[in-house]
Amino acid sequence: MVKQKRRLQKGAAFALLLALSPSLLLTGCKAKKDLPFYWFTDGFDNGESPTLTVDGVQYIQDTDTICHRTDAPGLIWKFSGEIGDTIGVCDDDAENGGSYKVCQIKGDEKQNFLYILPNHFVFGPYITFFCIREDLQINPPSVETVSSVVLVDKDAENILAQIDDPDMIAALLDAFKWDSIQTRNGEDWVYGSLTMQHKDFSFLQCEIEYCYSPEQEISYCQNADREWLPLPAEWFAVLLEHDFPTRGE
């Protein structure tokens, strides 16, 4: 089923996409007084994954399935939500007083995820951590984990359509199973993105770049190496149906 989402305000599209700036994501992280201390190691010294322990529950950072700091292409979930209240401070040594603060994720009532960021002013870029419960399995985008796919134009100003047909979702994911790398020829190309929504966690999304040529009747999607792969014919038909005037590079 395709649901029309035309002429939405620009803010609605930005809320759905992954292009949230760090300053916007961190605005909701409010601290309380007398916060508890939690043990945390960033893993930099031994090459291991960052680990956080909160009230006996262990959290880890899984960068194989979730990305929160960079705009990584391909089939990987990205954190696109908002950070909530601070529930504690953390470090690998209690005497340090907590170099980081531990924040909840808005909409995550069961506290399956926690966000870690510096507990003091940092001049310039700084490192943050997005941790999940160690006993929680987050699988890559699949028919079982994707609830819908949203078409957005190149400038993220309009949501063009929402696709929630499992067969269409499966066809899109199948495009990434092949190694048929394509080269775009000509100039009349339309560009946009396909944003997959996680079924269980609304703040996890996967954004895929696409392009298509109405004249050549072909469409492509971009893999993790930023190479173009052919999209199935049914997806070209959907893209063409929701054509918009954003053309060219």
- Say how far apart CA 142 and CA 161 lie, in whole Å: 20
Question: Per-residue pLDDT averaged across 95-104, rounded?
Answer: 86
Q: Is 233 helix (H, G, I), strand (E, B) or coil?
A: helix
- Say how far apart CA 77 and CA 197 lie, in whole Å: 9
pLDDT of residue 30: 57
Burial of 47 (0-12, 13-18, 19+ CB in 10 A): exposed
Question: Per-residue pLDDT averaged across 6-34, rounded?
Answer: 43
- Please report, for the chain, the start and end positions of each structural domain, with discontinuous segments joined by +: 2-12+141-241, 20-133
pLDDT of 20 > 70? The answer is no
pLDDT in tens, 146-185: 999 999 877 656 788 999 999 999 999 999 988 788 888 9
Question: Per-residue pLDDT averaged across 230-236, rounded?
Answer: 95
pLDDT of 5 > 50? The answer is no
Q: Tell whether pTM > 0.85.
A: no
Question: Per-residue pLDDT averaged across 183-203, rounded?
Answer: 92
